[in-house]
Structure 1
Amino acid sequence: MPQGDKAKYTDKQKRQAQHIEEGYEAQGVPPAEAEARAWATVNKNDGGGKKPGGAGRKKPAR
């Protein structure tokens, strides 16, 4: 996956980024900067794209 590819993000994360980007643009931030800030905010809140299911600590075998 090339750098900057948004394929691993959920639809909800994409909607959040779009909404945040529109807010930055309304404040006068240039579009490219607004997009970068929006995705940085989504990554900060959610830790990036989708995570593989079932990840977590397992109970030790006895």
Structure 2
Amino acid sequence: MSRLIPPHADSGALAGLGLLVIAGSLVLALGLGSSAALLEAQATPDPVQTLRNLLAAIRVGG
């Protein structure tokens, strides 16, 4: 019977690549959210609006 997963996947390389992609996506989302928050920020940023910007960036980046 043939294997469904190729033998090179046993090394964890695919899992590592997946984790790097997820981490990169989170960093990008947080960066976009914080830059959007900085552009809209006044002298004192509203924490609720900042959180909304971060969540919107995560939805777009994810």
Class of the TM-score when normalised by the shorter of the 2 chains? 0.3 to 0.5
Greater Cα radius of gyration, structure 1 or 2: 2
Looking at secondary structure, tell me which structure has more helix per residue. 2
TM norm structure 2: 0.41
TM norm structure 1: 0.41
